[in-house]
Structure formats: structure tokens, C-alpha cells
Structure 1
Amino acid sequence: MRSLAVTTLVCAVCGVLSSGCSFLFVKGPPDNVEKLPAKAPVECTTSQLAPVVDVLVTTFQVVRTIHTASPKSDYRNFPISRRTDMAFGIGFSAAFGLSAIYGFAKTDACEDAKAAAIARRKRESVFSDKTPSTPSRVEPAPAEIPATESPSAPTTSEDTPTQ
């Protein structure tokens, strides 16, 4: 009974982990990226962390599967058989390997889509520039008006009659 519970637990954990990091965490660019407005951001994953983790797990699974070629006596008290362990190793190697390929492909496509969006923004900003093709007419500055004396201007001593 104990070995069945352990086997079930191992299978459940392996089933969850077999989906691969990239399948879970990498988001590719939208299918209609060229139809998005020029100022709309392209939302996708550029980080290659998940595919790298997938490569590491794939490498571990390949090494572990090769190790299952050890003598049958090593599996005497093990909860799963040697043949089952090899099947898990091959399955996980394939799942994480495919996940790594998927992750690298999607992150590369995301980088390409973001670069294309930046180029499209630059191209559209050049063509939609609002500068006129001919210089606009500049109005001349108004001429200075000479200052005139106002009637309420203070008088000087020369202007006042002497008595």
C-alpha cells in the first residue's frame, strides 16, 4: 500500500513538473502584431530564463535516464521499477526539451516583433511629421512708435514762467 501511495505521489509531481517552464511562463508575441497601433506596446516574454531552466532540467533528466542503466539490483527497494524510471526519464527529457525549444522560439519571435514595432514607430513618425513643406510667412515685428509727450507730463523749470 505504501509503495502505491509513493508511486502515485511521484506520478502526480512528475505530471505537474513535466509541463516545462517555457510552456507555463513564456508568452509569445500576438499574432496580429503588425496590425497593432504604432504606439501600442508589444506584450510578450523576452527573458530566456525559462528556456534555460528547461535545458538544465532536460540535461538532468538525460543524465538520470542514462544512470537507470545501472544494475537491476539498485531498484530492489525502490518504489518504481527500473523500466518505469527509464520511461519517466525519457518522457521528462522529451517534455522539457520541447519546452526549451518552444521557449527559445517564442522569446526570439518576441524580440523580432518588438524590433519591428520600434522600426514601424520610427517610420511612421518620419512620415507623419507635421512640419510644413514650405516655410510659413513670418509677420514683421511692429515698428517702434516714437514716444510723445502727454498733457499730464510734469513740467520742468524751463517751462514755468518766472515772476
Structure 2
Amino acid sequence: MLRSNVVTCCICAICGVLSSGCSFLFVKGPPINAEKLPPSKPVECTTSRAAPVVDAAVTAFQVVRTVYAIKASDTDYWNVPISRGADIGLGVGLTTLFGASMIYGLTTTSECIDAKERHARRRRAPRRSPVNVDAAPTPSVEPAPGVPETVTPTEDDATPAPAEGDEDAATGEGASRVPAD
């Protein structure tokens, strides 16, 4: 019975090697320029966590299988095509491979989900038209007919007229001062 378990484990290990980690093969990350994509173009990457889950299951199986090989004796591997040491080494290697594939898959799908959410926020954001700072503001309310508009005094309007006896700065002429009696 023990031999059949070892053979089954070996067959599973070989199948595992041939699959080389589901996430490494089937998970596609977001494009490097995802922030620069136009809002009309979708971000194409993998959001499904199916491959990392399969990797996690294979990793767990490899851990159990390797622990079983560590606890077994060399006599349990008598007349088996693979030695106990080779089985342990294979188990450690496959555990590492599928564990790394699982971590890669989980990280990459999370990055994809984040990139798609950021892209969706950019698509929903209102598009702002360029603002012309030099343009005069348009009044929002027109004055009622018959109501005079309020005039704001300018600098020229604010200059007081020369008083009697003051010289005009531009001409140098002015009213003569007559001493009061």
C-alpha cells in the first residue's frame, strides 16, 4: 500500500512539473502604461484568482507530500523508481515553484484590480475644458431694463480737481494767490 502512495505522489509531482505553475502561465498583469491609456480603451489583464487558488492547492499538496517523505524511512522506498532523498528534493522544489507562482498570481491579480479601478475612476471623472484665464468673466445676471448700471470710478475719476490757487502740474499755470486783507 505504501508503494502505491509513493507512485501516486510521483505521478502527481511529474504532472505538477509539467504544469509549471498555473499563475506563471495564465495570469497576465496590467500594462506598464495603464495610467496613460485613453479612457475609451480598457485595461486588459487577469482579475480572476482561479490560477493562484490552484497554485495554493498544489503547494499544499506538495508540502504534505514532502512532509510524508521526510517522515518515511528508506525501507519504505524499497523497489520504488525514486529514492527518498530525491522525493524530498522534488517536493521542496515543487513547493517552492508553486508557492512562488501562487504569490505571483495573487500579487499580479491585485495589481490588475487596482489598475482597473483607477482607470474606471478616470473614466467617470468629469472632463474639464481648458480655462482661459485672460477672458473676461461673463455676467450671470443681466441688469433689468431701465435700471442704471453701477459705474465703478477709475483712477482718472478719483483725482480731485485742482483747487483755486493750485498750479496745474502739467502746465505750471494756476490761479494767482491774492493775499487776503
Same fold? TM cut 0.5? yes
In structure 1, the residue matched to 2:74 is 72
Q: Which amino acid aligns with 2:42?
A: P
Residue 122 of structure 1 deviates from its aligned partner by 1.3
Whole-angstrom distance in 2 between the partners of 1:38 and 1:92: 42
Partner SS, residue 127 of structure 1:
coil
Q: Which has the higher contact order (CA 8 A, sep 6+)?
A: 1
Q: CA deviation at 1:98?
A: 0.2
Distance 1:64-1:122 versus aligned 2 partners, 3 A rule: same
In structure 2, which of residues 100, 103, 106 is the aligned counterpart of residue 101 of structure 1? 103
Amino acid at match of 2:75: S
The alpha carbon displacement at 1:13 in A equals: 4.3
Aligned length: 122
Question: Aligned partners of 1:75 and 1:134: how far apart in 2?
Answer: 92
Q: CA deviation at 1:134?
A: 8.6
CA distance in 1, matches of 2:60, 2:54: 10
Instruction: Give, in angstroms, the shift of residue 33 of structure 1.
Output: 0.2
The answer for the alignment partner of 1:46 in structure 2 is: 47
SS of residue in 1 equivalent to 2:38: coil
Q: Normalising by the residue count of structure 2, what TM-score does the alignment of the two structures yield?
A: 0.62
Once the two structures are superposed, residues 65-121 of structure 1 have per-residue CA deviations (whole angstroms, 9 ceiling, x without a partner) of 000021111100110100000011000000000000000000000000000000111
Identity %: 51
Counterpart of 1:71, as a letter, is S
Tell me which structure has the larger Cα radius of gyration. 2
Partner of 1:113: 115
User: Within 1, Cα distance between the matches of 2:16 and 2:81?
Assistant: 14
Aligned partner of 2:60 in structure 1 is: 59
Between the aligned partners of 1:56 and 1:15, the Cα distance in structure 2 is 14
Gaps of 5+ in 2: 1-6, 130-137, 141-181
Q: How does 1:1-163 map to 2 (within 5 A)?
A: 13-17=15-19, 19-69=20-70, 70-123=72-125, 125-127=126-128
Provide the secondary structure at the position in 1 that maps to 2:103.
helix
Q: What code does the residue aligned with 2:45 have?
A: C
Moved over 3 A (4+): 9-15
